[in-house]
C-alpha cells in the first residue's frame, strides 16, 4: 500500500455503478470501476453506508448497522458459481441508463436471490459449508437476529417494531422468539445465506481494490434508525420508555439553511449504558466497518462531543438542547481495540471549540467543502478568511468539491446569485463554463492531504445527477446511476495529468 500522504479520491456509492439489473452491484462493474480509478491514479474510493435500506432507501437509515445490502449482490456472479441459471440473469426489464427504481429492483432481484440461496443450501459442498459456517460463527453477534428481523418485517408488513408488533415479539420474549425461529427456519436460513453471499462478493471487491493500491473509505452514520434491528435488539442503549417509544429525537438546531432546524427522528443514545458496557456495541460496530473498509468517515462527528436532543412530542427541532457525549472515552476504547484510528471527522454544521478539540486531540482530519467556501462579509466584501477556501485548507483535512448531500458542482453554480458567481469566477480566474473543473483543480492544488470528488463533478454533470437532497424523501434521492464507465479520453487525461502534477497519484 502506498504511503504518500497526498491522495486523490472519488465518491461513488456501489448502487450508482452501471449494471444490467437496475442497480449497481458487486460484479464486473465494480472491478471495472476499480481499474478505472487505478488508471486515473486515484487511490481512494469513498462509498456510503453499505447496510440494507428500508423505507426511503437511504443508506443512512439502514435496517442494520452490521448487515450488507442484499440488493448489491451480483446476480451474474451467482450464475457463474452455479446458483442461478444463465437465463435468470440475461432476461431482465431494465435499461442501463435508468435511475434505480428500488421497488422494481426488489421485485426482480429478490426472487432470484432467494432461488440462489436455496440452491446453495441444497447443493453446497464441503468447502462451501466450511466457509459458510465460519461466516456464521464470526458474525454470531448480529447475524441470527438480523435474519429473524427480516422475516418479521415481512410478517408485519414493514410496520414499526416498537408500535405495531405483537407484545411478546416486541419485548423479545425468549420462548416466543424460539417458536418463530423454528417456524420460519427456512426463511431465516435464506437471509443468512444472502449475507454470506454479500460478504464474499464485497470482500473480493475490497481485496481487488487493495491490490491496486486503492483504499476504501466507508461511512458510519452516528445514529441508527428507529426501525432497525439494532434498536430492537439493544433498546437499553437508547433513551426509550418502558414501551420502547423514543423519549427524544435526534436532529440539528435552526441555522442558515433551515429556520426550524432538522428533526431526524433517530433514537438518541443512553451514553451511560454505553459506558457501563465499555462501549462494547460501538467496538463491534467499528470493527465490522473496518473489516469492510480501510478508512471510516464518521457522519455527524460533532455528535460525539454533544448532540442536539429534542423531546419526542416536538414537531420541529427548534426547542432542543445540546447534551454532552463521552466522545473521548469512546475514542480511547476504539484506539485500544484497533490502534491508530483511520477516521475522517465529518465536522460540518454548528462546530464549537469542544468539537474541534475532540477532532484535533485525536489527530483526525476534518472536511472542507468548496460549496461552503464563497461568502461575503457584512460590508459586502469577499470573505477571503473562509476556512473552506482552497488557500485556507490545512494539511490534516480532506477537501471536497461537494458530498452526496450537495448538489453537483455544476448544478450548485448554476443556481447561485450573480454576485457569488462573480466572486467565484474572479477567485478561480475562469469563465462560467470552466468553474466545475477549476474547482476540481483547486482542490488538487490545495494543502489538504486528501482531495475527494463526487464522480458527477469529474464528469461536470448538472443537478439531474444529484444523489440526495437532505430533508426530502422522493424517488430522486439515492437513485442516480452512471450509464457507462467509458468517459471521454480528454477528460480522463486532464484529471490524471493534474493528479500527477500536484503530487496526488497512486
Task: Indicate the pLDDT class of residue 474, thresholds 50, 70 and 90.
Answer: confident
Per-residue pLDDT tens over the stretch 165-194:
999 999 999 999 999 999 999 999 999 999
The two counts, helices (H) then strands (E), for the chain are 20, 12
Q: CB of 388 within 8 A of CB of 397?
A: no
Confidence of residue 382 (pLDDT cuts 50, 70, 90): very high
Q: Reduce the DSSP state of residue 308 to 3 states and report it.
A: strand
User: The dihedral of CA 244, 262, 99, 196: what is its sign?
Assistant: negative
Q: Cα separation of 315 and 325, whole Å?
A: 24
Residue 323 has pLDDT above 70, yes or no: yes
Q: 171: which residues sit within 8 A by CB, 6+ positions away? A: none
The alpha helices in 216-297, defined as continuous H runs, are: 229-233, 271-276, 280-292
State the cell numbers at 202. Answer: 464485497
| pLDDT value at 3 more than 70 | no
Is pLDDT at 1 greater than 50 in this prediction?
no
Per-residue pLDDT at 259 exceeds 60: yes
Confidence tier at 95 by pLDDT (50, 70, 90): confident
How far apart are alpha carbons 176 and 404 in whole angstroms? 42
Give mean pLDDT, residues 374-383: 96
For helices 185-211 and 140-155, give the axis angle rounded to 10 degrees.
130
Average pLDDT over residues 40-63: 96
pLDDT confidence of residue 2: 47
Average pLDDT value over all residues in the chain: 95
Which pLDDT tens digit goes with each residue over 429-439? Answer: 999 999 999 99
Mean pLDDT value across residues 372-377 = 96
For the entire predicted model, the pTM comes to 0.97
Q: Encode pLDDT of 481-505 as tens digits.
A: 999 999 999 999 999 999 999 999 9
pLDDT at 471 over 90: no
Q: How many CB atoms lie within 10 A of CB 411?
A: 19
> Would you name the residues annotated as active-site residues?
299, 346, 405
The confidence score (pLDDT) of residue 163 equals 93
Q: How confident is the model at residue 54 (pLDDT cuts 50, 70, 90)?
A: confident
State the pLDDT confidence band at 241, using cuts at 50, 70 and 90.
very high
What average pLDDT does range 104-132 have in this prediction? 95
Of all residues in the chain, the percent with pLDDT exceeding 70 is: 99
Q: pLDDT value at position 257?
A: 67
Residue 180 to residues 145, 147, 162, 186, 188: CA-CA distances in angstroms? 12, 12, 18, 11, 10
- Identify the sign of the CA torsion 188, 194, 200, 203: negative
Cα separation of the two ends of the chain: 9
Set out the domains of the chain in order of their start, with CATH numbers: 7-365+449-501 (3.20.20.80)
- From residue 170, give the alpha-carbon distance in Å to each of 144, 177, 234, 236, 428: 16, 10, 12, 13, 57
* Residue 60 DSSP one-character state: T
Residue 258 is predicted with a pLDDT of 79
The residue with greater pLDDT, 148 or 474, is: 148
Helix H or strand E segment including 334: helix 327-338
Query: Cell 439553511, residue?
Result: 257
Amino acid at each position: 500500500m502506498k504511503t504518500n500522504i497526498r491522495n486523490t479520491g472519488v465518491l461513488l456509492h456501489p448502487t450508482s455503478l452501471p449494471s444490467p439489473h437496475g442497480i449497481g452491484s458487486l460484479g464486473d462493474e465494480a472491478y471495472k470501476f476499480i481499474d478505472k480509478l487505478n488508471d486515473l491514479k486515484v487511490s481512494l474510493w469513498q462509498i456510503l453506508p453499505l447496510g440494507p435500506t428500508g423505507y426511503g432507501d437511504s443508506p443512512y437509515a439502514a435496517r442494520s448497522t452490521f448487515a450488507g445490502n442484499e440488493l448489491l449482490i451480483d446476480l451474474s456472479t451467482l450464475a457463474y458459481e452455479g446458483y442461478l441459471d444463465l437465463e435468470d440473469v440475461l432476461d431482465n426489464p431494465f435499461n442501463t441508463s435508468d435511475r434505480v427504481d428500488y421497488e422494481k429492483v426488489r421485485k426482480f432481484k429478490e426472487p432470484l436471490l432467494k432461488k440462489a440461496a436455496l440452491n446453495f443450501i441444497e447443493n453446497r459442498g464441503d468447502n462451501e459449508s466450511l466457509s459458510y459456517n465460519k461466516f456464521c460463527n464470526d458474525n454470531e453477534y448480529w447475524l441470527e437476529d438480523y435474519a429473524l428481523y427480516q422475516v418479521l418485517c415481512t410478517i408485519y408488513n414493514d410496520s414499526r417494531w416498537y408500535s405495531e408488533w405483537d407484545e411478546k415479539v416486541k419485548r423479545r420474549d425468549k420462548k416466543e422468539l424460539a417458536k418463530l425461529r423454528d417456524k420460519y427456519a427456512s426463511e431465516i436460513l435464506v437471509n443468512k445465506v444472502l449475507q454470506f453471499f454479500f460478504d464474499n462478493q464485497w470482500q473480493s471487491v475490497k481485496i481487488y481494490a487493495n491490490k491496486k493500491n486503492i483504499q476504501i473509505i466507508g461511512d458510519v452514520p452516528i445514529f441508527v434508525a428507529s426501525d432497525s434491528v439494532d434498536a430492537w435488539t439493544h433498546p437499553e442503549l437508547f433513551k426509550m420508555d418502558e414501551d420502547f417509544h423514543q423519549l427524544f429525537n435526534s436532529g440539528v438546531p435552526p441555522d442558515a439553511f433551515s429556520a426550524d432546524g432538522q428533526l431526524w427522528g433517530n433514537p438518541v443514545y443512553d451514553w451511560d449504558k454505553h459506558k457501563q458496557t465499555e462501549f462494547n456495541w460501538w467496538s463491534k460496530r467499528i470493527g465490522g466497518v473496518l473489516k469492510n473498509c480501510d478508512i471510516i468517515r464518521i457522519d455527524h462527528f460533532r455528535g460525539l462531543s454533544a448532540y442536539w436532543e429534542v423531546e419526542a412530542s416536538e414537531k420541529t427541532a427548534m426547542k432542543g438542547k445540546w447534551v454532552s457525549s463521552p466522545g473521548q472515552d469512546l475514542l480511547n476504547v476504539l484506539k485500544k481495540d484497533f490502534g491508530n484510528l483511520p477516521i475522517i471527522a465529518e465536522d460540518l454544521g454548528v462546530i464549537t471549540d469542544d468539537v474541534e478539540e475532540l477532532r484535533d486531540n485525536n489527530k483526525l482530519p476534518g472536511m472542507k467543502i468548496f460549496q461552503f467556501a464563497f461568502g461575503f462579509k457584512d460590508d459586502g466584501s469577499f470573505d477571503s478568511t473562509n476556512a473552506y477556501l482552497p488557500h485556507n485548507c490545512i494539511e490534516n483535512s480532506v477537501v471536497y468539491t461537494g458530498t452526496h448531500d450537495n448538489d453537483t458542482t455544476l448544478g450548485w453554480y448554476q443556481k447561485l446569485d450573480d454576485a457569488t458567481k462573480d466572486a467565484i469566477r474572479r477567485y478561480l480566474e475562469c469563465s462560467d463554463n470552466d468553474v466545475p473543473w477549476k474547482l476540481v483543480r483547486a482542490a488538487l492544488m490545495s494543502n489538504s492531504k486528501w482531495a475527494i470528488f463526487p464522480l458527477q463533478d469529474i464528469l461536470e454533470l448538472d443537478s439531474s445527477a444529484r444523489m440526495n437532497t437532505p430533508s426530502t424523501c422522493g424517488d430522486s434521492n439515492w437513485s442516480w446511476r452512471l450509464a457507462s464507465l467509458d468517459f471521454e479520453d480528454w477528460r480522463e487525461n486532464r484529471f490524471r495529468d493534474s493528479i500527477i502534477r500536484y503530487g496526488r497519484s497512486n
